[in-house]
Chains A and B, each alone.
Chain A
Amino acid sequence: MAEVKLIGKLPSPFVYRVIWALKIKGIPYEFIEEDLTNKNPLLKYNPVHKKVPVLLHGEKTVCESMIIVEYIDETWQQNSLLPNDPYERALARFWVKFAEDKVVSVWRMFGAIGEELEKTMKETEEMLQTVEEHGLGEKKFFGGDNIGIADIAFGSVIYWLEVIEEAVGVRVISEAHKFPRLHAWIKNFKQVPIIQESLPDWDWMVAFCKGRREAVLASA
Chain B
Amino acid sequence: MANEVVLLDLKVSPFAARVRIALEEKGIKYESREEDLSNKSSVLLKMNPVHQQIPVLIHNGRPICESMIIVQYIDEVWNHKSPLLPSDPYRRAHARFWADYIDKKIYPIGRNLWASKGEIKESSKKDLIECFKILERELGDKPYFGGETFGYVDLALVPFYSFFYTFETLGNLSMVAECPKLVEWGEKCLEKESVSNTLSDQQKVYEAILQIKKELGVE
Contacts and interface: CB of A to CB of B under 8 A. Distances in A.
| Chains A and B come from one and the same complex | yes
Nearest to A60: B90
B90 A90 contact: no
Nearest to B101: A48
A33 to B, nearest CB: 23
A202 interface: no
B219 to A, nearest CB: 29
B62 interface: yes
B119 to A, nearest CB: 22
Q: Is the interface of A mostly helix, strand, loop or mixed?
A: helix
A38 B186 CA distance: 39
Given A71-B92, A98-B50, A134-B50, A90 B69 contact: yes
Interface stretch (B2-10, B20-28, B70-78, B157-165): B70-78
Contacts of A68: 93
B73 A87 contact: yes
B69 A94 contact: yes
A89 B49 contact: no
A86 B76 contact: yes
A71 B96 CA distance: 10
B90 A71 contact: yes
B73 A94 contact: no
Interface of B: 49-50, 59, 62, 64-66, 69-70, 72-73, 76-77, 89-90, 92-93, 96-97, 100-101, 134
Q: Which 8 A-B pairs have the closest CB atoms?
A: A74-B89, A71-B93, A86-B76, A90-B73, A90-B64, A75-B89, A93-B69, A62-B93
23 contacts: A48-B134, A57-B90, A62-B90, A62-B93, A63-B97, A64-B97, A67-B96, A67-B100, A71-B92, A71-B93, A86-B73, A86-B77, A87-B62, A87-B73, A89-B73, A89-B76, A90-B64, A90-B70, A93-B69, A94-B64, A94-B69, A97-B69, A130-B50
